[in-house]
Amino acid sequence: MTQLSPHLTPEKWLFQLFSSKAACAGGVIRRQTRDVERLVGRTQFEAELARRGFHAVENAGQIVIFCNQQPVRVIR
């Protein structure tokens, strides 16, 4: 886990991520897996998802986050 600048902590990055308009509206947001792992770390990211009751899926280097507590069904 590497930070880009001393001003961007993992906590600030998570706050910015989950403060976005889409996240606040219960929508869907997407981030590159390498950014999540580099800036926050998978363990802390997954803990924050669990704390919020959110779900996420990963595919082709992207993490899609469902910013609500509704069930997620993979269609195919």
Q: What does pTM read for this prediction?
A: 0.88
Tell me: pLDDT of 2 over 80: no
Does residue 14 sit within a domain?
A: no
* 11-65 pLDDT, tens digit each: 999 999 999 999 999 999 999 999 999 999 999 999 999 999 999 999 999 999 9
pLDDT (0 to 100) of residue 5: 72
Does residue 15 sit within a domain?
A: no
Name the pLDDT band for 3 (thresholds 50, 70, 90).
Answer: very low
Does residue 33 sit within a domain?
A: yes
Does residue 7 sit within a domain?
A: no
Does residue 20 sit within a domain?
A: no
Does residue 3 sit within a domain?
A: no
- What is the pairing mode between strands 28-32 and 62-66? antiparallel
Q: Which domain holds residue 42?
A: 27-76
State the total domains in the chain.
1
